[in-house]
A and B are shown apart, each in its own frame.
Chain A
Amino acid sequence: MLQSKSFVKKTKQGRVVKVVREHYLRDDIYCGALSCKVCDTSAARLTSSASTILIVDTNVVLHQIDLLENPAIDDVVVLSVVLEEVRNKNLSVYNRVKALCTNSLRKFFVFSNEHHRDTYVKEMVGESPNDRNDRAIRVAARWYQSHLGGSTQVLLITNDRENKRKAIEEGLSAETVESYVKSLGQPNLLDLVSLPTSEDVGMEEVEDLRPSKRKVIYNEHKPMSEITSGLLRGIYHQGKLRVNRYNPFEAYVGSESIGDEIVIHGRANMNRAFDGDIVAVELLPQDQWHEEKSSIIADDEDDEEEDVHLVPSSADDAPRNTNLVQPAAASTASTSSRPAGRVVGIIKRNWHSYCGSLEPMPMPAGNGGIAHALFVSKDRRFPKIRIQTRQLENLLDKRIVVAVDSWDCLSRYPSGHYVRTIGKIGDRDTESEVLLIENDINSRPFSAQVLACLPHLPWTLSSEVLANPNRQDLRHLRVFSVDPPGCKDIDDALHCTSLPNGNFEVGVHIADVTNFVLPGTPLDEEASQRGTSVYLVERRIDMLPKPLTEDICSLRSDVERLAFSVIWEMTSEAEIISTRYTKSVIKSCAALSYVEAQARMDDSRLMDSLTTDLRNLNSLAKVMRHRRIERGALTLASAEVKFQIDTETHDPLDIGMYQIREANQMIEEFMLAANVSVAEKILKHFPLCSLLRRHPTPTKEMLEPLLRTAAAIGLDLDISSSKALADSLDHAVGDDPYFNKLIRILATRCMTQAVYFCSGDLSPSEYHHYGLAAPLYTHFTSPIRRYADVIVHRLLAAALGIAKLPPIFMDGLQLTSIADNLNYRHRNAQMASRASVELHTLIYFRKRPTDTEARIVKIKSNGFIVFIPKFGIEGPVYLMPRGDKGGDWVVDEVHQKVMRTGTNISYGILQTVRIHMEVVEPQPNRPKLELTLT
């Protein structure tokens, strides 16, 4: 049967065209009930014994997905009309409901009512699309009722009053979500129910305990029609709102229409928008563009403060607005050029669920009943969320997950509902899980389908593999690896042979992961999604299953392993004479740690061949490194922290800086060289679909904080090129040995991170890697723990003609989205690692109050931020109580100093101070590390 749908549509050029689409109606769509006598039940999912089948409407799926995910709710029919609406409104909910419908443990069935001969409904004249869809849902419910007969009750679940009334009139059973959940007799399920807003079925109006809350706090959002016309006329600007991670009262909207970022100051101007929402913004009059005093952020009761955190390793980790002290003279010029605005409407919400805890509160009077609580997200970018709970006592000391439901202009905070409990606050496992959830990291065990892709264990080298003409047998070479101690996922190994002509043959051998991870397999898709392994202090979340990560791919010593090799002939001056690439078989003779390798090189009594190889490599690496630095590569410094962890309790025993040895730099040098060689090769063969890595040149604005600090201490930095900057960093030598490193750490945090991209998306001049001063760069050397390297291995194999290029490379869009995902995953993995270190730092200092030396890195109006080199952390030191502004401390902006009036006490930038570190608990269950002057 054929229906023709016609509608008018506006084209991109603004013309209106009539579009006619065919719509086929069928008689071979089945009901999905196992007990059905009429239908084909091969794909059925609904229990035969079910006495009730639920049909849910779109809003129930959109708002009650947390409830639907609870196993107490089952035998649900999801109509295709509902599914389609959900997909258009909220992709993340759509993916969750899709997962429910494909989960074999759940009984969710998708019924294609829109293509079923008996349930398709045509839009009637004057009927709105919403009403038409509601009617379609009722028609489908009626069909189910008559199709399944009397034995099964069909229950329509809707919170829409009108829809429910019509359904009952038409002889259907219908209930609201709340009344249905109540009928199940599980009170805790009610916490999962999202509260209907006022237009929906009236529930007993929730009594608000704070009378002041009922006044209008935010401006009404403009209706969609007004926003659309405002955008067209250019008075509103559309963009994604990004909240400053370090100052939740400041947000940015990147707007294409004005080609600049619009700053939004304060919650009132943000007008209920969340981080990630697509919003419409109106610019404020120019005289209001200067920012509000941002010294210590205060929005009356939301007074929050900075915590002690790890030293940023790039600009992406650092506060956006580093000029926390208002430069008095320069302010009008520098800040007013930046447009400021306010949110007038929200085009698309980005609500999801959030991790955090309830704000401490006394148990409400009366027993049991419903309590109203405020949820505080761990990620400070999100506002507090009001929830209702029947289990307050249980939740107060827990980390919980909460979802947002609504935010009207009468409430200071959005309302939401409880989703689940993670565990006790402060507990290491709980907090580790929180940081995984916060960073969207999948730490679930690998699925059976993924594991089914693994080769049989134990894996051994087969004669078949050896017979492959494309694979060279390099087992005779003296190959070895150098890694951190205890490293089990060994990606890379090296060899170095002296040639008769005085040159060296140097090989970098990388685990041949793509021999085992074939494109398009579930294993490949999983790895592609995970993007990278994640390293937490006490555990590692692998990108590939353990047998591959630690055994089959890992280039362990004394076993035959498959590798992808880059082999150079180099002069003793490390000039590359030739480069070749080959798949290979190697047998590593030693898996050394950095310390071991260093010790061997340093021990002049050792003259064995392995040590000689190491020394040769090291001298080549030194030349290469020198040349690289000559070219302008930056030697940046980061403060990497290392914990010694108790093997049983997993508690940190000791903490200290990670020591970089020559051996580390040697390995790094050859990995960089291999990556550059591979980047050149793949780009030559696939100029449009190579995956490369670029590091954008920092803008002057980004280096501004570094320059200001340098100026305050009379240091002159040349930032005109990476070479100039590198040179002036070299010349920045102060009175004390740590000075240079400090300046480098400050420089590092001004740079953004390098990113992956698809070569077809940018022009060659944009491929540049600033930090390495390399025109081309990619990642090839860690395929066990980075998916980018897996892709690059496939590209290289195709470039050598030994494998076909998988189809995704022909699809530029798909490759771009893979690159985007990799960037997102890397960023998150890094954030998670940092959060894990911060968590362990807190655990470590809980029992160990410590006095130590620190350096002032930033002056604020009521104190300063110090960096503690020994532990790689930084945090605020307050000179006066918070909220007490002004006082007798005065900031000297030019010299970056804070002075006490009437005395000669002052603190200046980069000054050394002695501080006391101690974990305090200002609120129960909320431990934090506090820094005070000793």
Chain B
Amino acid sequence: MEYVNPLTGFRLDGRRPNEMRQIRGEIGVVAKADGSALFEMGNTKVIAAVYGPREVQNKGQQINNRALVRCEYSMANFSTGDRRRRPKGDRRSTEISLVIRQTMEACILTHLLPHSQIDIFVQVLQADGGTRSACINAATLALADAGIPMRDIVTSCSAGYLCSTPLLDLNYIEDSAGGPDVTVGMLAKMDKVTLLQMDAKLPMDIFENVMQLAIEGCKAVAHYIREVLLEHTKQLECHRGA
């Protein structure tokens, strides 16, 4: 399968290897939550809602010197074409929940919020590859919306390697090709990688190129998220000012 056309250099959907899909973020989509956001990477669409900081529900879990961060990831039954009932808490979602929690925990200033609890709910509305990254990006926006103190904004993007070419932001077809898929999460301003996942073998030199591409992707997402936040703040200012 030619995932990259050897004559034109385009991918199946018309992108060049180092191009990301169209991304879009929207803040404040769940009125009830303390913070919420919708994030799209191409046809992948996820929603994130944040509750907290609030009192720890199960006192046994309370931590004295920092906040307790919890995360629940799920996929809507209608998120893939075949409309399947998805059991909660299967291995895959438990794993992704954990990944998201750890990534978010690494950027929340939890020591400023002792004895409290922060709940992050992310749900995939439409899946087309790169759901992990989209979830992290949505969670970042939602946390910012909730006004939770963070070190930096954490963003994520994936990159793969097909047809001897590093490809940024794989969509579902590319992801199903079975090639390596590297997901990177990073604190953009601090230039620190906080998440790195890959389930395949890749020679070191190629891996470095692929990871570098994913890092560029993260930076681009960060740039965009910053704009969304700025725009959102301006609107808030408008409302308040008026």
Which chain A residues have a beta carbon within 8 Å of chain B's beta carbons? 2, 4, 11, 15, 17-26, 80, 83, 87, 98, 101-102, 110, 112, 114-115, 804, 806-807, 810
B203 touches A98 (CB 8 A): no
Smallest distance from the beta carbon of B224 to chain A beta carbons, Å? Answer: 16
B 1-23 to A, binary, CB cutoff 8 A, 1 in contact else 0 = 01001111010111100000110
Smallest CB-CB separation from A25: which chain B residue?
B14
Most A C-beta atoms less than 10 A away, residue of B6, B22, B81, B128? B81
B202 touches A21 (CB 8 A): no
Q: Can you name 23 A-B residue pairings with CB atoms under 8 Å? A: A2-B22, A15-B82, A19-B81, A20-B128, A21-B12, A21-B13, A21-B43, A21-B173, A22-B13, A22-B21, A22-B42, A22-B43, A24-B15, A25-B14, A26-B14, A80-B5, A102-B7, A110-B7, A112-B14, A114-B14, A115-B14, A807-B201, A810-B201
A112 touches B81 (CB 8 A): no
State A25–B10 Cα separation when bound (angstroms): 11
Smallest distance from the beta carbon of A554 to chain B beta carbons, Å? Answer: 31
B8 touches A23 (CB 8 A): no
Smallest CB-CB separation from A3: which chain B residue?
B14
State A330–B7 Cα separation when bound (angstroms): 60
> Which chain A residues border B128 with CB–CB below 8 Å?
20, 22
Which chain B residues have a beta carbon within 8 Å of chain A's beta carbons? 2, 5-8, 10, 12-15, 21-22, 42-43, 81-82, 128, 171, 173, 200-203, 206
Smallest distance from the beta carbon of B5 to chain A beta carbons, Å? Answer: 7
> Which chain A residues border B200 with CB–CB below 8 Å?
810
A22-B21, A807-B203 as given contacts; A83 in contact with B14, CB under 8 Å: no
Q: Is the interface of A mostly helix, strand, loop or mixed?
A: mixed
A17 touches B7 (CB 8 A): no
Smallest distance from the beta carbon of B108 to chain A beta carbons, Å? Answer: 33
> Which chain B residues border A11 with CB–CB below 8 Å?
82
Smallest distance from the beta carbon of B77 to chain A beta carbons, Å? Answer: 14
State A810–B201 Cα separation when bound (angstroms): 7
A112 touches B8 (CB 8 A): yes
> Which chain B residues border A807 with CB–CB below 8 Å?
201-203, 206
Smallest distance from the beta carbon of B42 to chain A beta carbons, Å? Answer: 5
A804 touches B203 (CB 8 A): yes
> Which chain B residues border A15 with CB–CB below 8 Å?
82
A17 touches B8 (CB 8 A): no
Question: What 7 new A-B contacts, CB under 8 Å, besides A4-B43, A80-B5, A112-B14?
Answer: A24-B14, A83-B7, A101-B7, A112-B8, A114-B14, A807-B201, A810-B200
State A397–B141 Cα separation when bound (angstroms): 79
Smallest distance from the beta carbon of A862 to chain B beta carbons, Å? Answer: 53
- The 3 A-B residue pairs with the shortest CB-CB distance, nearest first, are A17-B81, A24-B14, A115-B14
B8 touches A20 (CB 8 A): no
State A583–B42 Cα separation when bound (angstroms): 52
State A4–B14 Cα separation when bound (angstroms): 12
B171 touches A22 (CB 8 A): yes
A22-B21, A25-B14, A804-B203 as given contacts; A17 in contact with B82, CB under 8 Å: yes
> Which chain B residues border A83 with CB–CB below 8 Å?
7
> Which chain B residues border A24 with CB–CB below 8 Å?
13-15, 22
Smallest distance from the beta carbon of A598 to chain B beta carbons, Å? Answer: 48
State A905–B163 Cα separation when bound (angstroms): 70
B43 touches A98 (CB 8 A): no
> Which chain A residues border B12 with CB–CB below 8 Å?
21
A2-B22, A22-B43, A24-B15 as given contacts; A112 in contact with B10, CB under 8 Å: yes
> Which chain B residues border A26 with CB–CB below 8 Å?
14
> Which chain A residues border B42 with CB–CB below 8 Å?
22
> Which chain B residues border A2 with CB–CB below 8 Å?
22
> Which chain B residues border A101 with CB–CB below 8 Å?
7
> Which chain B residues border A19 with CB–CB below 8 Å?
81
A20 touches B202 (CB 8 A): no
> Which chain B residues border A98 with CB–CB below 8 Å?
6-7
> Which chain A residues border B43 with CB–CB below 8 Å?
4, 20-22
> Which chain B residues border A806 with CB–CB below 8 Å?
203
Most A C-beta atoms less than 10 A away, residue of B5, B14, B15? B14
Residue from the list A21, A110, A810 in contact with B8, Cβ < 8 A? A110
A80 touches B81 (CB 8 A): no
Smallest distance from the beta carbon of A45 to chain B beta carbons, Å? Answer: 11
> Which chain A residues border B203 with CB–CB below 8 Å?
804, 806-807
Smallest distance from the beta carbon of A754 to chain B beta carbons, Å? Answer: 31
Residue from the list B2, B14, B82, B202 in contact with A23, Cβ < 8 A? B14
> Which chain A residues border B14 with CB–CB below 8 Å?
23-26, 112, 114-115
State A619–B22 Cα separation when bound (angstroms): 74
State A112–B15 Cα separation when bound (angstroms): 12
> Which chain A residues border B6 with CB–CB below 8 Å?
98, 102
State A87–B14 Cα separation when bound (angstroms): 17
State A115–B5 Cα separation when bound (angstroms): 12
State A112–B4 Cα separation when bound (angstroms): 13
Smallest CB-CB separation from B11: which chain A residue?
A24
State A17–B203 Cα separation when bound (angstroms): 37
State A25–B22 Cα separation when bound (angstroms): 12
B10 touches A115 (CB 8 A): yes
> Which chain B residues border A4 with CB–CB below 8 Å?
43
State A101–B128 Cα separation when bound (angstroms): 33
Smallest distance from the beta carbon of B131 to chain A beta carbons, Å? Answer: 15
Smallest CB-CB separation from A78: which chain B residue?
B7
Smallest CB-CB separation from A102: which chain B residue?
B7
> Which chain A residues border B7 with CB–CB below 8 Å?
83, 98, 101-102, 110
Smallest CB-CB separation from B204: which chain A residue?
A804
Smallest CB-CB separation from A109: which chain B residue?
B7
Smallest distance from the beta carbon of B84 to chain A beta carbons, Å? Answer: 10
> Which chain B residues border A110 with CB–CB below 8 Å?
7-8
Smallest CB-CB separation from B83: which chain A residue?
A17
Most A C-beta atoms less than 10 A away, residue of B10, B12, B21? B10
> Which chain A residues border B8 with CB–CB below 8 Å?
80, 110, 112
> Which chain A residues border B21 with CB–CB below 8 Å?
22
State A112–B206 Cα separation when bound (angstroms): 28
Smallest distance from the beta carbon of B207 to chain A beta carbons, Å? Answer: 10
State A597–B156 Cα separation when bound (angstroms): 69
Most B C-beta atoms less than 10 A away, residue of A4, A19, A87, A807? A807
> Which chain A residues border B5 with CB–CB below 8 Å?
80, 112
State A259–B13 Cα separation when bound (angstroms): 40
Smallest distance from the beta carbon of A115 to chain B beta carbons, Å? Answer: 4
State A83–B7 Cα separation when bound (angstroms): 10
Smallest distance from the beta carbon of B187 to chain A beta carbons, Å? Answer: 29
State A23–B12 Cα separation when bound (angstroms): 8
Most B C-beta atoms less than 10 A away, residue of A24, A25, A110, A810? A24
State A2–B14 Cα separation when bound (angstroms): 10
A23 touches B13 (CB 8 A): yes
Smallest CB-CB separation from A520: which chain B residue?
B164
Smallest CB-CB separation from A804: which chain B residue?
B203
> Which chain A residues border B22 with CB–CB below 8 Å?
2, 22, 24
Smallest distance from the beta carbon of A123 to chain B beta carbons, Å? Answer: 17
> Which chain A residues border B202 with CB–CB below 8 Å?
807
State A25–B43 Cα separation when bound (angstroms): 15
Smallest distance from the beta carbon of A86 to chain B beta carbons, Å? Answer: 12
State A14–B42 Cα separation when bound (angstroms): 27
> Which chain B residues border A25 with CB–CB below 8 Å?
14
Smallest CB-CB separation from B202: which chain A residue?
A807
State A2–B15 Cα separation when bound (angstroms): 11
State A22–B15 Cα separation when bound (angstroms): 10
State A101–B5 Cα separation when bound (angstroms): 12
State A4–B2 Cα separation when bound (angstroms): 21
State A4–B45 Cα separation when bound (angstroms): 15
State A102–B201 Cα separation when bound (angstroms): 32
Smallest distance from the beta carbon of B171 to chain A beta carbons, Å? Answer: 7
State A652–B21 Cα separation when bound (angstroms): 67
Smallest distance from the beta carbon of B175 to chain A beta carbons, Å? Answer: 13
> Which chain A residues border B81 with CB–CB below 8 Å?
17-19
